[in-house]
Structure 1
Amino acid sequence: MRLINTTSHKLEEFFDRPVPPYAILSHRWQVCEATLQNYRSSQGEDGPGIGKVINFCKFAKTQSPSHRYVWIDTCCINKQNSMELMEAINSMYTWYENAQTCFVYLRDLPPKEEVHKKERRDAFCNSEWFHRGWTLQELLAPSRVIFCDRDWKVYDSRVQLAKQIEGITGIAKPFLDGTYQPRRASVAMRMSWASKRYTTKPEDKAYCLLGLFDVNMPLLYGEQKRAFMRFQEEILKHSDDESIFAWTANYTQWGMLAPSPEAFQGSEDIVNFKLAPEQRMPFQMTNKGLRFPSASDTYAKDNVDPSTGEPMGYDDHVVELGCFFGRIKGMTGQHSDALEMWEDGPITIRLKRIGPTWQRVECDNLGQGQNSARRVRRNGSYFGRGVQRIYFIEQPLL
């Protein structure tokens, strides 16, 4: 890890020795930013974007505690080295977690001397920083986040602004004020936090979420939207959270994996539920599509062929997922009311047989199953009921 000494303004490397305490800068990139190469060549004195680095060093030294070292993404990573860039992106969430403080520099937030209090509050709410993909981890990962205005004056902290930030981002207050760790949220809930954010490169819609989902994977710039599909496959390798399938999009038929983060808009209240271990059979991507074992109930859709009058249920199934619609914003599966909400009915999706495989149909809708009250096991998990099957669900290519 490279850090900048706030006194000498020099870059120091900590590749084979312990990393000292440091502060970190979160900011929106401008046209001219200091890269590793031009920062080294400028000797930390002059050049494109150097002013922002120097100003941050001076600011960080005046804060309490005073920071001897700082990290800035633009000039502390050698982006000309693809291996180093990949390692940095896979490590970045941890770097933000380990920072003493993350200072958010909002260049579109005017100082209080220039505008009225309401105008300043509106400028904060409308800041472009809240709409970018990469800034999501910068908001959530650090234990301490401080927002600064254009003149490097402290505006307020994430904890103090938690209710306001909830209204801006849709991220529930408990995940902002330290009540819950962000990774405790369901997959669908975390995806919803990114669903309205944008990135310059399509691949970064997936890459900017790696740390939030505790996923590591190679970066393949050029794969475009395929990156998000690969990202979901990586999540399935270590998570049995079925809310990853609780998305909606305007498709008459599709696979089980969402086509983009935008499909999770409206999933901010979906909660994953604890099912019995044997009900959490592994998912697996095969040459016939995703192997999807139904973890809960499966039942035939009560459809009739209008031409013959014969039942069509064999090829048309409704499958319950191991998640439900929460009635309390920001709740997790450990909430005391989770059982009651689960028993109101789990989320359902509809599958239709297409030849030897299946596909999800009516993808613009999530259903809700029947009351799912069931006996409790000694270990606190729940018995299943109904018929359970294994489906091979074809995943269309993007």
Structure 2
Amino acid sequence: MKAICTTTFNLDDIPDPSIASYAVLSRQERPVPNRSPSTLDRDLWDTSLIPDVVTAACRVAAGLGINHLWDRSLCVDQSSSAEVSLSINESRQRLESARVAIVYLDDLSAQSLGYNEDDWERCGYWTEAATTTDFILSKRVEIYDSQWNHRCSKTCSEFIPLASNITGVPISVLREPAALANVAVGIRIAWYAAKSSARPEDLIYSLAPILGVEMQIIYGEGRTKAFCRLQEQILHDSRDSSIFAWRAGSNGPEIRGIFAHSPAEFAHLLAYQNTNLAPWRFDSKVRFTNNGAEIRGPVIKQGLFTFLDIRKPTGKDAGSEPRIAIQLRECDGIYVRVGLTSAHTRIPSPPQRQTIDIIRDADPTIAGNLRMHIEKLDQFVNTRGSREGLPDHHQPEEESSMTLRPKEPTGLKRSRSGRPLPPYASRRSLPRVYQGYYSSDSSESESDDSNSESDSDSDDSSASDRLRASSDYEPEEEYILEESNKLHSLRPDILNSVFDSVQICVSTAEYKAPPAPPLKRARTTNWNSLHEDEESSEAFEDPNMVIIPRQRGYFHFSCPYYLRKPEKYQACLLGHDLQSIEDVIHHLQEHHTEPPYCPICRQPFERALVRDNHVRARVCQVSQGEVDGVNERQKRRLEKKDRIQLGETRRWARIWNTVFPGSGDVPEPYMSLGLEREISIIRDFWDANGLDLVSEYMGKQGIPDQHEPEEIAALSKLVLQDLLDRVLRDRPTSSET
């Protein structure tokens, strides 16, 4: 870190800011022509060109016994994207380590006495995103007016209520920045709803430290794209569902993706911090694919609408605060966001946990096409008289007192992929939308040559584009049985009671490789021309498309890394059930990501920032060690080059050659021998019978039926793990036999 010496005004290096004595100058930056030195260039540094405000701040810091001063405009090379990125990602650590933050209000008159709210509120300092971050994260803040008179400290009892009113930040957070962890993500974003920045992206980059995430700095991408990246990064590290609780303005498009476009769309959440600041617990799994955001959570169906339940008040708040859900519409298995609703009416039965795909974002063109598709579906349903009492999706988003009550199912049809169809329509009655129309590869041409097997990007659509069309693909439940739960004590007895049945199944089951795929293949529909071909039957159903769900009795797949290093990656064998090529691809992308590593010594690191510091230190030696994991290019290639019509063996070969290029012969993909085969059989047996066996045992023991279904499912999962561990102790792996 660079900082200005408070006595000589020279620019010095600060090797370790955590132990250095320095202050941070926080001010509304105003350009001063021909007065700034060339930052970070010692040969051109001219102390006579340092702005007066900085020299005055240096004198204040020196008077406090502080040796150095950090100023954003002078101590960061704004022409270096790497330097700017490092500065932003280290801002939280820098502000927390500073001895003091000196806040200079150049538009607070020295004649304004006391704490008149009008005088303080009109200061431009409060309108900027960067200075807001400084004010929140700095532990000690001293405030000076335009004549450098010391006015107060941030935590001054007379000033802190005024500061809270001006910034919207609760007093508890202003007193102790560590309290940010107890504030919902959506509320933190709402604090920046009316903030500004010199460059559009800087508003988002200033918000990142408040949310505890690091971002790559990409100037020129625009505020919306930067904000979408920030939200995706938050969802990688957090299960706070307030990130979904944004509301589009009355002038915004009514059909959207899962991501908000601006912090202003969270402004309505400021009302919640008066009653409950706490994060919203979202006990669900979220991951990102080329289909958008794949979310497994509490879902409620109501006519043409689907609701993703994101906030269920508990305890003392259950009766006074609304339940909140995202309002969605489905387009052939892919969901778009059409609103945010709240309901004070309790749901008599819990929502069903389902996996749904919601697009990341919808630009005006895609939103227009989606709107036409939804209107066409509404028109179709209207002719059947099935739309009575349903909310109008053309209404702007606003608080509504809807009852999120699912209708009773009256019979469920399924497509050939296994996905349930709505009860009001058959598959042939609905427009068919190509699921990949919004992905980054959607503009590539599609070949109609069914015999083509080349690696060309214009071959068939990738098999992963239809991954979510298979009902067999379900992410594992994340419910965890607490250690204090008495059900844990049942595990040894349940294991003993079922072990003989499991062994009989293992000894008698016949497993084999699946048959070759049919010659028919998926034919995609051009989304942009869908409305031009409304009368064509091919727009509703493609007779050439066949998706065969995988059956039990077929070999499961091995993890490529387990095959290569079975001892190191034994967790892949015991903890992950790979029943399809899509499962293998997903497993590699989620659990074998290449870590940041030093290109010199090949040492891996958990964070890129730590790796960068290690490289800059230049203390390591050249090494030829191997770093396991798939990089981003390999991840994209895994999906892009996958083709259903090639058959599982050839698809596996493509995966192996992508992950381990030039490694020679491709091994057998299936777990067909020894321990691996046995574990596959046990998994299938337990998937079909585990819950029944656990429930049967509890019934025989007279255990009261007072446990939640999630608890029984979690217990069943733990017993399965106990089974696998016992088998592992008794049998060697196939690599050892």
Name the TM tier (shorter chain).
Answer: 0.7 to 0.9
| Equivalent residues of 1:6, 1:57 under 8 A apart | yes
Where 1:283 maps in the other structure, the secondary structure is strand
Specify the alignment match of 1:198 in structure 2.
Answer: 196
After TM superposition, the structure 1 = structure 2 runs for residues 40-119 of structure 1, keeping only pairs within 5 Å, are 40=42, 45-47=47-49, 49-63=50-64, 66-111=65-110, 114-115=111-112, 117=114
Judged with a 3 Å threshold, the aligned counterparts in structure 2 of structure 1 residues 180 and 343 are, in CA distance, closer, same or farther, namely: farther
| Equivalent residues of 2:28, 2:125 under 8 A apart | yes
Shift of 1:80: 2.2
Equivalent residue for 2:258, pick from 243, 246, 256: 256
Query: What amino acid sits opposite 1:387 in the alignment?
Result: Q
Equivalent residue for 1:218, pick from 201, 216, 231: 216
Where 1:210 maps in the other structure, the secondary structure is helix
Equivalent residue for 1:286, pick from 285, 289, 299: 289
| Equivalent residues of 2:37, 2:47 under 8 A apart | no
Specify the alignment match of 1:126 in structure 2.
Answer: 122
Equivalent residue for 1:341, pick from 274, 297, 317: 317
| Equivalent residues of 1:182, 1:212 under 8 A apart | yes
| Equivalent residues of 1:282, 1:293 under 8 A apart | yes
State the percentage of identical aligned residues: 23
Specify the alignment match of 2:713 in structure 1.
Answer: none
Task: Write the distance in 1 (CA, Å) between the matches of 2:265 and 2:37.
Answer: 35
- Residue-by-residue CA offset, 1:206-254 (whole Å, 9 max, x unaligned): 1111111111121111110211111111111111111100111133221
Equivalent residue for 2:269, pick from 267, 270, 294: 267
Specify the alignment match of 2:137 in structure 1.
Answer: 141
Task: Write the distance in 2 (CA, Å) between the matches of 1:274 and 1:124.
Answer: 33
Gaps of 5+ in 1: 302-312, 325-337, 374-383
| Equivalent residues of 2:40, 2:75 under 8 A apart | no
Is 1:188 aligned with 2:189? no
Specify the alignment match of 1:381 in structure 2.
Answer: none
Specify the alignment match of 2:630 in structure 1.
Answer: none
Specify the alignment match of 1:393 in structure 2.
Answer: 358
Which structure's relative contact order is higher, taking Cα pairs within 8 Å and 6+ residues apart? 1
Task: Write the distance in 2 (CA, Å) between the matches of 1:196 and 1:323.
Answer: 28
Specify the alignment match of 1:156 in structure 2.
Answer: 152
Query: What amino acid sits opposite 1:125 in the alignment?
Result: E
Judged with a 3 Å threshold, the aligned counterparts in structure 2 of structure 1 residues 121 and 369 are, in CA distance, closer, same or farther, namely: closer
- Residue-by-residue CA offset, 1:93-138 (whole Å, 9 max, x unaligned): 2101111111100000111xx34557x6522111111011111210
Shift of 1:282: 2.3
| Equivalent residues of 1:148, 1:156 under 8 A apart | yes
After TM superposition, the structure 1 = structure 2 runs for residues 303-322 of structure 1, keeping only pairs within 5 Å, are 313=303, 315-322=304-311
262-271 or 209-218, which deviates more:
262-271
| Equivalent residues of 2:183, 2:279 under 8 A apart | no
Judged with a 3 Å threshold, the aligned counterparts in structure 2 of structure 1 residues 261 and 95 are, in CA distance, closer, same or farther, namely: same
Task: Write the distance in 2 (CA, Å) between the matches of 1:43 and 1:187.
Answer: 42
351-360 or 184-193, which deviates more:
351-360
Task: Write the distance in 1 (CA, Å) between the matches of 2:108 and 2:126.
Answer: 12
Judged with a 3 Å threshold, the aligned counterparts in structure 2 of structure 1 residues 17 and 97 are, in CA distance, closer, same or farther, namely: closer
Task: Write the distance in 2 (CA, Å) between the matches of 1:25 and 1:190.
Answer: 23
TM-score (norm 1): 0.81
| Equivalent residues of 2:57, 2:102 under 8 A apart | no
Where 1:291 maps in the other structure, the secondary structure is strand
Judged with a 3 Å threshold, the aligned counterparts in structure 2 of structure 1 residues 272 and 299 are, in CA distance, closer, same or farther, namely: farther
Shift of 1:320: 1.5
Judged with a 3 Å threshold, the aligned counterparts in structure 2 of structure 1 residues 84 and 43 are, in CA distance, closer, same or farther, namely: closer
Shift of 1:150: 0.7
233-242 or 5-14, which deviates more:
5-14
Query: What amino acid sits opposite 2:153 in the alignment?
Result: S
Where 1:208 maps in the other structure, the secondary structure is helix
Where 1:174 maps in the other structure, the secondary structure is helix
After TM superposition, the structure 1 = structure 2 runs for residues 219-238 of structure 1, keeping only pairs within 5 Å, are 219-224=217-222, 225-238=224-237
Judged with a 3 Å threshold, the aligned counterparts in structure 2 of structure 1 residues 35 and 217 are, in CA distance, closer, same or farther, namely: farther
TM-score (norm 2): 0.45
Task: Write the distance in 2 (CA, Å) between the matches of 1:136 and 1:28.
Answer: 10
Task: Write the distance in 2 (CA, Å) between the matches of 1:110 and 1:262.
Answer: 30
| Equivalent residues of 2:136, 2:177 under 8 A apart | no
Specify the alignment match of 1:329 in structure 2.
Answer: none
Task: Write the distance in 1 (CA, Å) between the matches of 2:51 and 2:40.
Answer: 9
Shift of 1:199: 1.3
Where 1:257 maps in the other structure, the secondary structure is coil
Shift of 1:369: 5.3
Judged with a 3 Å threshold, the aligned counterparts in structure 2 of structure 1 residues 16 and 157 are, in CA distance, closer, same or farther, namely: closer
Shift of 1:41: 5.9
| Equivalent residues of 2:22, 2:70 under 8 A apart | yes
- Residue-by-residue CA offset, 1:284-329 (whole Å, 9 max, x unaligned): 12222211222x4x3222xxxxxxxxxxx2x3122211465xxxxx
Query: What amino acid sits opposite 2:62 in the alignment?
Result: K
Judged with a 3 Å threshold, the aligned counterparts in structure 2 of structure 1 residues 143 and 353 are, in CA distance, closer, same or farther, namely: same
| Equivalent residues of 1:35, 1:74 under 8 A apart | no
After TM superposition, the structure 1 = structure 2 runs for residues 4-23 of structure 1, keeping only pairs within 5 Å, are 4-15=4-15, 19-23=19-23
- Residue-by-residue CA offset, 1:167-187 (whole Å, 9 max, x unaligned): 112112211122862232111
- Residue-by-residue CA offset, 1:340-373 (whole Å, 9 max, x unaligned): 2146543222111123211111x3x431354479
- C-alpha RMSD over aligned residues: 2.6
Gaps of 5+ in 2: 364-737
Task: Write the distance in 1 (CA, Å) between the matches of 2:230 and 2:23.
Answer: 29
Shift of 1:256: 1.6
Task: Write the distance in 1 (CA, Å) between the matches of 2:96 and 2:17.
Answer: 19
Task: Write the distance in 2 (CA, Å) between the matches of 1:8 and 1:197.
Answer: 35
Judged with a 3 Å threshold, the aligned counterparts in structure 2 of structure 1 residues 291 and 209 are, in CA distance, closer, same or farther, namely: same
Task: Write the distance in 2 (CA, Å) between the matches of 1:56 and 1:281.
Answer: 49
Judged with a 3 Å threshold, the aligned counterparts in structure 2 of structure 1 residues 274 and 124 are, in CA distance, closer, same or farther, namely: closer
Where 1:86 maps in the other structure, the secondary structure is helix
Query: What amino acid sits opposite 2:201 in the alignment?
Result: E
Task: Write the distance in 2 (CA, Å) between the matches of 1:350 and 1:317.
Answer: 6
| Equivalent residues of 1:241, 1:272 under 8 A apart | no
Query: What amino acid sits opposite 1:266 in the alignment?
Result: H
Task: Write the distance in 1 (CA, Å) between the matches of 2:225 and 2:285.
Answer: 23
Query: What amino acid sits opposite 2:90 in the alignment?
Result: S
Is 1:353 aligned with 2:330? yes
What is the number of equivalent residue pairs in this alignment? 350
Is 1:29 aligned with 2:29? yes
* More helix by percentage: 2
* More strand by percentage: 1
Where 1:4 maps in the other structure, the secondary structure is strand
Task: Write the distance in 2 (CA, Å) between the matches of 1:14 and 1:39.
Answer: 15
Task: Write the distance in 2 (CA, Å) between the matches of 1:105 and 1:23.
Answer: 13
| Equivalent residues of 1:140, 1:182 under 8 A apart | no
Query: What amino acid sits opposite 1:356 in the alignment?
Result: G
Judged with a 3 Å threshold, the aligned counterparts in structure 2 of structure 1 residues 44 and 19 are, in CA distance, closer, same or farther, namely: farther
Task: Write the distance in 2 (CA, Å) between the matches of 1:394 and 1:237.
Answer: 16
Judged with a 3 Å threshold, the aligned counterparts in structure 2 of structure 1 residues 97 and 180 are, in CA distance, closer, same or farther, namely: closer
Specify the alignment match of 1:328 in structure 2.
Answer: none
Is 1:367 aligned with 2:342? yes
